[in-house]
């Protein structure tokens, strides 16, 4: 479990969203960001509102505007 990964597999990382994405990103930089997010985790829990989000979300992943408020996990 990870506070930035929903139980349906959606990863909440600004780099993966349209607001944080840039054409200069490389596969290596994306992988390093994911690895850093995963290894720096200190809490074994799901994101707040995980079950409600999974039950009610019908949008495509790229159409979801996540709020990135917790970088200290």
| Residue 31 annotated to the active site | no
Out of 4, 6, 10, 12, the active site residue is 12
* DSSP states along 24-55: T--HHHHHHHHHHHHHT-----PPTTHHHHHH
d(Cα 37, Cα 14) in Å, to the nearest integer?
11
**Would you name the residues annotated as active-site residues?**
12
């Amino acid at each position: 479990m990870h506070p930035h990964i929903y139980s349906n597999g959606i990863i909440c990382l600004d780099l993966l969203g349209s607001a944080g994405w840039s054409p200069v990103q490389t596969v290596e930089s994306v992988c390093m960001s994911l690895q850093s997010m995963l290894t720096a985790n200190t809490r074994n829990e799901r994101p707040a509102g995980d079950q409600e989000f999974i039950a009610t979300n019908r949008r495509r992943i790229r159409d979801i505007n996540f709020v990135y408020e917790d970088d200290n996990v």
